Structures are given as structure tokens and as C-alpha cells.
A and B are shown apart, each in its own frame.
Chain A
Amino acid sequence: MAVDQELLSELGSVLGPGLLSAPAACVAYECDALTAHRHPPDLVALPTSVEQVQQIVRACHRHAVPVVARGSGTGLSGGALPVPGGLLLVLSRLNGILEIDPRRGIARVQPGVTNLAVSEAAAPYGLYYAPDPSSQVACSVGGNVAENSGGVHCLKYGLTVHNVLAVKLVTMTGELLTLGSETGEAPGLNLLAAVIGSEGLLGIVVEVTVRLLPVPRRVELLLAAFDDVGRCAEAVGQVIAAGIVPAGLEMMDAPAIKAAEAFAHCGYPLDAQALLLCEVDGLPADVDDELGRARAVLEAAGATSVRMAGDAEERRRMWSGRKSAFPAVGRLAPDYFCMDGTIPRRHLADVLAQIAALSKTYRLDVANVFHAGDGNLHPLILFDAGKDGELERAERFGADILEACVAAGGTVTGEHGVGVEKLGPMCSQFSSAELETFHALKLAFDPDGLLNPGKAVPTLARCADYGALRVHGGQLPHSHLPRF
């Protein structure tokens, strides 16, 4: 698509070398971590100041050019996929840590700062930033806000929304708004809650104030092995019902255990059908107390063995298997899909059984890793896109898993976002009226619909098409809509 020369010269005068339009330079930004979807951007802007961001969006607004914001491009759902005729606004050069204040317990950072860099900058004060998505070495705080990123410690420490106090947001008309405040209380509506997780559709985040927490004085990790997946799933609920809120509670099934052990040599029991990693942190005496109770619950729940990491090195090794589960499983097949549903925990055993049955139906292997404490499932569907029909079977398998999550009272995405990937499954989870309300809310922030258009919320027409493909019990969802 031809780029408007007038816009090009306006942006050029704002950005100088921070504007890319040569296809050879732009192609590096054609996708995020959902690499199945690619579209080389026509224009890439790399601003170095908030003022430049405001000037860019004003120019794009005047020329009715869509804007897609991007941080480090580690997103898993295509949220930062460029849109045809649009500008890709790459915020990675806005990467200053503006302030760390141990007395107020806050950090104020620009959106391009990586998640881990915040904790590193806070470490000299004995503080850290709690959300730890698996990509934390690379992913940006701005991207975390866009996706409401989680991690392995959400049950106790929450998601991004629980740890962000305020953001500065540039609207599509170039206004600079402050949402929230460093005390966490601000007059008016809680618009910050709507912006966190809005996948770049409401505004451009140009500054983030986060809450810092004291680094726990003691951390311990238990590894419990089970000879039955259902029993392991039930143990999760029993730990929580006992009044224990572990910092992390992670579960893996046999295929995931075997893959992780082969990859990371982390000392996992290869004869187990499932394992639980249960991390407890806090004051030393509180940790002792919780460890004792957690061990008793796990043993009573039928664990075949419960082992505690002897030191920090063993703890690191035990975590390394879980943390490398995706690449480890990735070695088992040429391709895999990572799903991201969440369900009420009481349905864990049942949904696992459904996934096992689907695996047989579609003749594709699946390995399961879960943030079990949160009920957040990451089934990894193994396939070979080079083999006839496997990609399509894998996609249908994935969609069926998400349908099962919705049917169990859960959600089609726990932490990876909708992006372009889950537009179809969104139609199962929400009614037409709810989707229309989402679209209206976007227009309240962005009346011309220029920010990251086509992502996160499906059009009703798309849902009609999706419904045509997926009929349940003879009932089409959104059946009152006209067909195109």
C-alpha cells in the first residue's frame, strides 16, 4: 500500500532517522511472538520522547492512518501484528527508569523498559516488581500493561493490574492523560482498570508507575509427585482450602515432565503421571509454618513423594524444568500451539480428561503445563504443519479446548490476550450485546477507531462466520445476525 507522501514528510521531520519506511528495514517488525501471522508494516516509528509520540499520533489521526503500538514484540496472540496501511509505533526506545523511590515503594518507568530491568533497578533497595511473565528478560512493561501479563506468582501477588498504580496514556488525538495515582486512589471512574489489558486499542501507554514489594526473606520449593493426574488436580484445591496461599503452584503432566527432564535435567520423577511445584515465601517462621502444612496436605492428598529443594541451586534447577517446558515440548514435534484457557479449579480433572479424549479424536499429542493455583491451563498441542491436514486438526483441537474452558465457566484467555489469535473463541464467551459494548467502549477512547483496529474484540460479522463453522447442540451463536 502506498504511503501518503505528506504524512511521510511530517513524520520524517518529527522522527528523523527514527522513521523507517524501506521494506528491508520494516520487515523485522512483521510479527510478534505469534509468528504464524505476519504482515510487514508500511511505516515504523521509533520515538524517543512522549512529545514525539503525541506528534506521531496527531499526524496519523489527521491522515486517518491506523496506529499499532509495540513494545518488545514478545506477545503470544498477535496483538502487535502490523495492520495494512498502518503505522507501527515501536516504543522500545522509550526505555528510561525515571524514578525508584523505596520510601514510597514505587518505580516510575517508560514503557520500553523490560520487566526484569525494573526488579534489577529496585534490587539495591531490597525491593522487586512482582509480575514475572516467562518472557520477563525481554518483554516490556508497556506490553505487560497492554496484555495484563501474569506469570507464575499470580495467586499470591496478582497480575499486572494489581501491581500498576498509574499510567500516562496518549490518546489517538494526542492528549496526555494520567490514569490512577501513586497512592492507588484517584478521583473519578477506575479507567485504569479498563486500560490495563486493553491490547493497545484505547491509548498509547507512555509512562507506568508500579508498586514495588520487599524481596521475600525466605523462599522454599516443594516438588510433589502423583501417579494420577486427577489426584494431583484435587491436591491443588486441597492446598488452597487449607488456608495456604502459595507464591506459586504449578502443575505438569507426564508428557511435559518427560520433555522437561530430557531438556533441562532438572531431577523430575520420570515415573510420575503429574507433578506439582509449590513455592512458599515470606518471613522465615511463616514459611516454616506453611511448608509443614503444605507437605501434610500433599501427602494426605496421595502424593507418591514430596521433596523440598535443599538449597537455592536445587530450587533453581527444579524451576528450570517448568520454565523451559515450552522449548522442551517444542523439541518433540516440528510445531506446537500453546493454548491459554482458564477454568474454575474444581473442573481441572474433568477438563484434563476432555483434553485427553480430544487428543485421541484429533490424533495429535498434547503436553499440559498449568498455573494450577489460578486454574490457568497451557495445553501444548504438538503437530507437523508440513503434514497434510495437521495444522487444521491442531487448530480445531485448540478451539475445542477453549470451548471446553468456556463450558466449564472459564475464559478463552487467561494471560496471553486475544490479539488476532482468539477473535473466534471470543464469540463463544460473549454475547453480541457484550461485544457491542466493548466496541462502544473503544470508541469512547478512540472515536475514529484508529488504534490497533481489528484486534482483541471480534466484529459481529466475524462471529456470524465463526458461528457458521461451530454449531453447538443445533444452536448457532449470534443466530439473529445477518449472514454475509
Chain B
Amino acid sequence: MALIETPAGQDITEALVERVRAATSSKTPLRITGGDTKCFYGRPVAGDTLALAGHHGVLRYDPAELVLTARGGTLLADIEALLARHGQQLPFEPPSFGPLATLGGTVAAGLAGPARIVRGPVRDYVLGARLLTGDGRVLKFGGEVMKNVAGYDVSRLLAGSLGILGVLLEVSLKVLPVARGTRTITRRIDAQDAIGLLGAAVQRGIPITGSFWSADILHVRLEGSPSGLDEVTSSVEGVLMDAQAAAAFWHSVREQTHPYFASSRPLWRLSLPATTAGAALSRTDRAAFEWNGAQAWLSGVDRQTIDLITRTAGGHATLFRRGDADDGTTGDVFAPLPAPMRDLHRAVKRVFDPDGILNPGRMYADF
């Protein structure tokens, strides 16, 4: 097996460096965009657009290495199609929220889909990155190997950083083979029982790679070899879903085109401990959950109710989509940081973007 030859794509590093340097000297804030598919996420940024879409192309991909390196503006759809041709995938199943989603935006947003519950977050698959900092330096961190402890792990720090530390020029990711088989089972069950059942199944080693619960219906996805699935499917109670319908269903969960997400009301994302999530979600009829309860959604609920839930249950909440409550104001969308953590964030931001020109305010108002 060898490196897969791919079209060269386009390298606009020099132009991007010049734009950033010019913005630094004129103290002009920049709003970094890839496909602009996730601009709803985080706080609004006022600034000139720095477009990465023209900086694209897969640089290296060798299926036997389980590593892919591509420029930040490469379309997520192109990467997923290339991987699929070799029986591989992005393990964290990122949502694209539109056909123009890019690799850079995917890593910067740090969002993962159903498989995150077993395979881990975006961060776990970032092996290296080439970064354009706010003061116009091009720096490379990490690499293209699985094990690497040379220097601080800056490339993983960039996962979910929402562009506030730099522009992702290139990213190297670990990829994994697609499972040999998959089955989806559905059943009627309330939230609390569903979370208990999923927790017990995981502890027994049942290979659950996706779970979604809403309106008292639980969908569970299992993956493994065909004979392995035969072995475990009988131990999960419920109705087996048609394979094609199941694939469409998980796509709708990942891309939030499932009817649960159709509401135009504000959508909150809650990260809750498994032991308290069930009780917390039974207080409302507007909830759905994924990741065996670790990620819950609440639609059309006010901030006071959210605060009450996270206070009682532990965990934290994000205003994922402002929906029809979006009045263009700049209220916080992420849970507030304790003062020493806020200071540390500001200090880390200054290391990479001393003049604060990259996506200022996207994560928190003051940096």
C-alpha cells in the first residue's frame, strides 16, 4: 500500500499570511470562514472575512498508515468520499451542517456525531496541524504519527478552539476502518430507563456506537463483524431497523435534520453525568439525548430552566442555536469560566494572537 495520489488542490498560504499581517498592523479583526456552515455556533464575530475555501487539497493519505493530511479549506465531503473509497472514515462522525463544510471548520468547531460516545471527540484524532498565528507566523505542531510527545500538544489544543488561536492551514488526522457491519434497534422507553439500560450495556461490552432518544423512542446502533452482531443483537431488546432507513436515521441525527431539531426555538446542548442525566431530562418534555445520555438537547427552554438543570445535575450547557431568540445581541453562549480559568484563557490567547485579531469574541466576549 502506498500514498494515494490526489489532485494538488490550491495553496494560498502566502496570501493568507499577508492578509493576517496587514490585519495585525491595522488592528482589523478577522472573521475566519471555511464553508460558513457553522457560523450559528458560538458568538457573532464582527470583522473582515478571511476565507479559507481557496486553500484546499488532500496532501497525504496512506490507508495503511491510518493518517490523512489536508489543507484547512478542503471540503469535508471530499475527504469523507476519499476515505470511504478505502473502507475508512473520520472516527468522530462530524456533522457538516451543509455541503461546503471544510476540514478546518470541522476541527475548529470540535463537534462530533453519534460515534463520539465510543470513539471519543475530535481532539482524540488530531495528530498535527500547521497554524497561521494572529501575528502572521506559520508554525507546525504534532505530526503524522500516532505517538508523539515532543513539545506541548498544541495541535490537540486547536480542536474546538473556534479559530481564536490561529488559522488552520493544514491538519493531520488519525482515521479508522469502517465497521464490518451495523445494526440499529429501536424501542419505546423513558429517558431515565434508557440511560440506565445503555450504561449497563456498555459495561457488559455491547458495542454501542450510537444512541439517540427523543419522544420516548430510543435508537441504538451496534457495530462489529457480522457474526459478532449476531452474537449481541439478541441481548438488546427492541425492533431491528431496516439498514437503509437506519443509515438515513443516523445521518439525520448527525446533521440535525431529524424532526426533533426542526423547531425554530433556541436549542441548548447539555453535557451531563450519566447518573443525573435521566432525572434531569424527565423534568421536561422538550428533551432529546445522544451519547448514552452524556449529550442532551433541550429545545425552547429558557436560560433559568437550563441553569436550574445544570445546577442540580452537574455538567454544563451551551446555547447551541439561538433560533428565533437571536436578536443579534452578544450574550454568552458557552458556560462562564471561573476567574482563574478566564485569566489563563486570555494568557493562552495572547501567545497565539497577541493583538486579538482572530475571531475575537467568538468563544467569549473578552478574548
Contacts and interface: CB of A to CB of B under 8 A. Distances in A.
B21 to A, nearest CB: 14
B120 interface: yes
A297 B158 CA distance: 38
Interface stretch (A12-20, A220-228, A234-242): A234-242
Given A187-B318, A285-B227, A416 B273 contact: no
A177 B123 CA distance: 20
Interface in A170-187: 171, 175, 177, 181-187
A150 B274 CA distance: 28
A415 B147 contact: yes
Interface string A270-290: 000000000000111110111
The CB with the most chain A CB atoms within 10 A, among B146, B275, B350, B351, is that of B146
Contact of B151 (A216, A243, A430, A444): A430
B315 A161 contact: no
Contact of A282 (B143, B145, B228): B228
A463 interface: no
Given A197-B152, A238-B64, A418-B150, A284 B273 contact: no
A129 B159 CA distance: 25
B341 A237 contact: no
A220 B97 CA distance: 42
Given A104-B275, A125-B203, A159-B147, A190 B161 contact: yes
Contacts of A422: 150
A159 B316 CA distance: 26
Interface size on A, as a range, is: 35 or more
A418 B149 contact: yes
Given A188-B345, A375-B145, A433 B139 contact: yes
Nearest to B62: A346
Contacts of A190: 110, 123, 156-161
A431 interface: yes
Contacts of B204: 126, 214
A283 B146 contact: no
B149 A416 contact: yes
A434 interface: yes
B285 interface: no
Interface in B289-339: 294-295, 315-316, 318, 334-338
Given A125-B203, A189-B157, A285 B231 contact: yes
B127 to A, nearest CB: 10
Contact of A437 (B146, B154, B156, B345): B154
Interface in B126-143: 133, 137, 139-141, 143
B67 interface: yes
Interface in A230-271: 237-238, 240-241, 243-245
A185 B121 contact: yes
B148 interface: yes
Contact of B150 (A345, A346, A429): A429
A148 B146 contact: no
Interface string B198-226: 01001111010000000000000000111
Interface centre among A127, A238, A289 (most CB of B within 10 A): A289
A186 B124 contact: no
B120 A184 contact: yes
B154 A184 contact: no
A220 to B, nearest CB: 14
**Which of A101, A182, A290 neighbours the largest number of chain B CB atoms within 10 Å of its CB?**
A182
B344 interface: yes
Nearest to A426: B150
Interface string B1-16: 1110000000000000
29 contacts: A105-B199, A126-B204, A147-B149, A155-B146, A183-B295, A188-B345, A189-B160, A190-B161, A191-B345, A193-B159, A197-B149, A237-B65, A240-B64, A282-B205, A284-B231, A346-B1, A371-B147, A375-B147, A411-B145, A414-B147, A418-B151, A422-B150, A430-B151, A434-B140, A435-B151, A438-B154, A441-B351, A444-B347, A457-B152
Given A183-B294, A191-B344, A282-B205, 14 more contacts: A104-B275, A105-B199, A159-B147, A161-B156, A177-B338, A177-B341, A185-B316, A188-B341, A197-B152, A214-B202, A374-B147, A375-B65, A376-B147, A412-B150
Q: Give 7 closest A-B pairs by Cβ, nearest first.
A: A193-B156, A286-B228, A237-B64, A414-B147, A289-B225, A444-B347, A243-B177
